[in-house]
Structure 1
């Protein structure tokens, strides 16, 4: 808690300093045409409500802001809504995800794996960072902000007590120097003590960002630094401490979680990752008059029409992974490659990557014949890896160079038809033989009094397995295998009917040379092809203040021994939604449940932080257990607040609450959270 108070003090000092720059903008003078004393044209939406006789502002600016994310390495921007919605706020910090799609190790922020195959991401930058997708934010997932007043968001989540509880504090600050230039920072601190022995998580991220968006020149940049420390307990020694405690210890019917013995008690992983990401573009174009309505006597305004863009994106990244252990559990590891006489484990590896992408784009819409945008680009990436050596005195070094060329075709304007296709093919280095082509098309058409959206997506790729699945050296795990390339073919379709609150998604993927971690927690490939079928159905109902949101996901793997998946994953949320206090206080009172059918879910290996197929001599099914949470969710002006009783059904149904083999989820616990937006 002391560290959180220090962070608050730091935010307060920085906020006072940066806000002074914005106060100067708040005291500008404006003429009748909306220009300030410096001659800058001011957006009418950003003008103050009241001016005194000297045209000096006497009332604060009404807050207006917009947010966006960077879609790809070409720097395309995608507008997103500001994070002010209170629906599902009570689930926003759950490691299992908003609707419970992830298997994880019970503690907040611990490694996780999606049960929904189509939701899994390619492991970038390394396989060691991917399990922490609930915390680690990639450049394409970062939120940029532009606002006419300083914007700050403070969010705090807490559960449990000082012995076994969890806390997470997040601060986000953004300020504009002027209409085009903005900068800010994000601080994210997570500390989960853990309800089971040696399961603590301690993560810290500090990110700084900036953007300059003008008609001709745009630049967006991020510096992100991540420290992640994860204690590893290897799971509980016997599942019966949860499922049948009276069978193993003198008739005791219930064990406190902290008293349940675990396999490991002196092991921990550390990941330190930082990246610098920058994307910029320069637009060539012309200015044209904006058409006016008849009898409009205001001066003619002009708009800038971009024709051609020159694009450059740069990213440098460094990631260090270490595993330390003083545990000496008999037969826990099958092999020992380094210092057999010393039980202490000191594994480490380092990755450094530098990537540049350049492109030129002919933009959509600069005249009536330019119905689509066309982009050509090329990229080069240098990756360096440092692995442990058998001699123990020096490191083995691996360098990989990749050169790709590609193109993009897109139509984003209009209300009926949009399409987008992007592809790249390897030209040199380890990129030879690799390619990736994906695209989507969406059609919006009227149906009765509603608009129906139809989306079709497709992807074809031939790519190498991640480096650390081809090469890794450590005390107990050692492999060097170049492996065959994975060939993926995926097709998806989606139907949306907003008025009916209906969404249906279905897809199929075929994979040749599927790469996975086998029963020995070693990388392996399936010879031949593997197919996955999936369908997702969302249907929400509303009757007055009563709401029922439903999600049903069905999926089928053609080889459950290689890619185990549950047949069904369900999420249901029943709640009342209404307003109080002269309709300024929004309230949600409800309960939600997540459930999936039993299957042989992947086990977890602490020494590599990877999920792998369960060993033949220790196979257990998980699932078939509903997890129910009861909550109250409130929103008052700029403040969101929730109180939730997590796992409220503990002790009511059969105690079989595992989301990973031998890792029971947390017992019943009260959680709460607060999020506060400041616009000054």
Structure 2
């Protein structure tokens, strides 16, 4: 049945593409009433110059990018410091994360967000999901002429990272895009190769009267990593010694060289809506001339998504000294799978007096697990968690006297998993220069699938748990002064927190539930100070945790500071940006990484951190091309070899990397 549905969806998207092909170039899109600009994403306004576009009728503001929430921005070809922060494997600002030594590996988290509107548990191998593109990571497009973007960046030893994107409107109402991000990197250490691919296709269409809109995407992803378990205990001292012999990282011995893991998934997503009516009614009420026109709209919407994914760990022979005893000692292969078929029906009513109301009913048909039963110590561990979850929810949005009011809620009304959430925030301006947002969020959610059920060839990695829901409450405040200063703060309380740590008896990693309340407070300051062509960009994060069981560990201070110079040279033919970025976080009990689970786990044996990372960069922009050259961690040889991404997993040594982003407007 699922295959039939997927085939129908694929044929629908394919036929739509064929049906809308038009040899005539579409006229420029002129309706940009919904376009918004994030002032923090760029330090200067996007130029509307059309001298570099092949079609003189097109403007840069016509190249629209539409998020899954229908927030709309346009293509930005400027060179800013924020672009430098996003020029990485994830292609987004990775402040609060520290990458492993090789490109395409996981990231350790220096901070956590507990804001959630999810009613379903997450999949396994969460440490491998940083580059796994979810529904909210996929954008849609509307362009007056074909648009291409090419991204390239060097990797570590025998490889490269490339991301190619193309989109075109075959008519003013139909858009199609295709993209592929691929990586291969050997890495500096033994048995640490990465090979990943993210393929995505999107399309969107709207009828001539704009009453029916449809969009969809197909995403296929495979993220493969060789796993080595980190440095052996006696090799850690050799790494930290800094002796020249061991600066060749390939001679350091790792825990094993016979394992690899892969996270693979495909998703078919369809989102369409129909406006039942869109009325404008005149009301002759002289006392309320500003409200003399009543506008109302009723629409129905359907969202359908099918995702099939798995995480597989392969090892030619068992590493019993690392993971404990195994059922068999050779040819280990363990796979966790998830099939999730999601449907939601929405009714959306808008009235300019009452606001925007949305009511929805959704269904999740899930099937998670393994292909066999496990009997351990006389106990049978089931192999599947599957069923149907029906949920109901709603949203509200209203602008009233300078306040922007938004609210959202959801609750599971039937099925094996309980869950609910409530989210609300108010946006307002204190004056013409200062804006603020106050938010609250409550969530009750089932822990991730792999904490509830896990099976593996290693004996101590088999369990079936019945944990309580994780309960979180968050109060958040954001204050922004123009584009100069942004301050965010949030206070979180977490009950029944589920985490991984080593079992006291077996010394192997297993999930546990914290029976104490965790209080977690964060303050984050972002600002930029300019002195002519010089600028100092700062991001500072302060965190404090009250947790009796020490299950949520974060550094107290994390900072990123960039001093840089920007200017046009060669008669404004080239825009140059050069400077130094300083990254630092204080010592704390950093989480360790378990490659078998692809999860981080709590350790309270040794503190890590308190090492600076200095990067020198030269960036340049020539027409629509941005060029990036960076000397990463150039201080590594003189500030001490005590830098780690996780225990037994060193951070990157000094290296020079090059990259480019190139846009074509046809």
Q: TM-score, normalised on structure 1?
A: 0.82
Check if 1:347 corresponds to 2:334.
yes
Instruction: Indicate how the Cα distance of structure 1 residues 22 and 540 shifts in structure 2: closer, same or farther if over 3 A, else same.
Output: farther
CA distance in 2, matches of 1:58, 1:357: 41
Quote the Cα distance in structure 1 between the aligned partners of 2:219 and 2:590: 33
Match of residue 572 from structure 1: 561
Per the TM alignment, residue 528 of structure 1 is displaced from its structure 2 partner at its CA by: 2.6
Distance 1:492 1:550, change over 3 A: same
Contact 2:258 2:317 in 1 (8 A): yes
SS of the aligned residue for 2:509 comes to coil
Residue 501 of structure 2: which of 494, 504, 518 is its match?
Answer: 518
* Alpha carbons 1:90, 1:643 under 8 Å: kept: no
Q: 1:478 to 1:305 in 2, by over 3 A?
A: same
Structure 2: distance between partners of 1:133 and 1:578: 38
CA deviation vs aligned residue, 1:494-541 (integer Å, no higher than 9, x gap) = 110015x11111111111100100223211100131111111111211
Q: CA deviation at 1:328?
A: 4.2
Q: Which runs of 5+ in 2 are unaligned?
A: 1-16, 33-48, 283-292, 376-380, 503-507
Match of 1:261 in 2: 253
Cα distance, 1:120 vs structure 2? 8.3
Using structure 2 for the length normalisation, give the TM-score. Answer: 0.84
Choose the corresponding residue for 2:628, options 630, 642, 666: 642
Partner of 2:270: 278
1:89 is aligned, of 80, 83, 88, to 83
> 2:138 corresponds to which residue?
142
Cα distance in 1, alignment partners of residues 173 and 189 from structure 2: 50
Q: Is the 8 A contact 1:286 1:304 kept in 2?
A: no
Q: Which digits, 9 at most, give the CA deviation of each residue in 1:269-315, with x for residues without a partner? A: 0111011111111113346699xxxxxxxxxxxx9966011011111
Give the corresponding residue for 2:452: 470
Map 1:245-644 → 2, pairs under 5 A: 245=242, 254-286=246-278, 307-336=297-326, 338-339=327-328, 342-365=329-352, 369-370=353-354, 372-390=355-373, 396-411=383-398, 416-431=402-417, 433-446=418-431, 450-476=432-458, 477-498=461-482, 501-519=484-502, 520-559=508-547, 561-614=550-603, 619-644=605-630
Residues 528 and 643 (structure 1 numbering): CA distance in 2 closer, same or farther, change over 3 Å? same
Q: What stretches of structure 1 of length at least 5 have no aligned partner? A: 1-16, 29-40, 51-56, 72-76, 247-251, 291-302
CA 42–256 in structure 1, closer or farther in 2 if over 3 Å, else same: closer
Q: Which residue of 2 aligns with 1:244?
A: 241
Once the two structures are TM-superposed, the CA of residue 483 in structure 1 deviates from its matched residue by 0.7
Seen in structure 2, the aligned counterparts of structure 1 residues 241 and 89 have a Cα distance that, compared at 3 Å, is: farther
Q: Give the stretch that moved more between structures: 530-539 or 117-126.
A: 117-126
Query: CA separation in 1, counterparts of 2:580 and 2:565?
Result: 10
Give 1:188 shift: 0.8
1-structure distance, mates of 2:573, 2:114: 37
The reply on whether 1:204 has 2:192 as its aligned counterpart is no
C-alpha distance in structure 2 between counterparts of 1:275 and 1:427, whole Å: 26
State how far apart, in whole Å, the 2-side matches of 1:320 and 1:194 are.
25
The size of the alignment, in residue pairs, is 599
Seen in structure 2, the aligned counterparts of structure 1 residues 176 and 414 have a Cα distance that, compared at 3 Å, is farther
Superposed CA RMSD? 3.0
Deviations 1:57-100 (A, max 9, x none): 996645521111112xxxxx112342434224344243596354
Deviation at 1:638, TM superposition (A): 1.0
Whole-angstrom CA distance in 2 between matches of 1:415 and 1:113: 44
What does residue range 183-202 of structure 1 map to in structure 2 within 5 Å?
Answer: 183-202=176-195
Task: Report the 3-state secondary structure (helix = DSSP H, G, I; strand = E; otherwise coil) of the residue aligned with 1:635.
Answer: strand
C-alpha change, 1:158 and 1:489, in structure 2 (3 Å) is same
Question: Is the 8 Å Cα contact of residues 95 and 112 (structure 1) preserved in structure 2?
Answer: no
Cα gap change, 1:24/1:289 in structure 2, threshold over 3 Å: closer, same or farther? farther
Q: Secondary structure at the match of 2:113?
A: helix
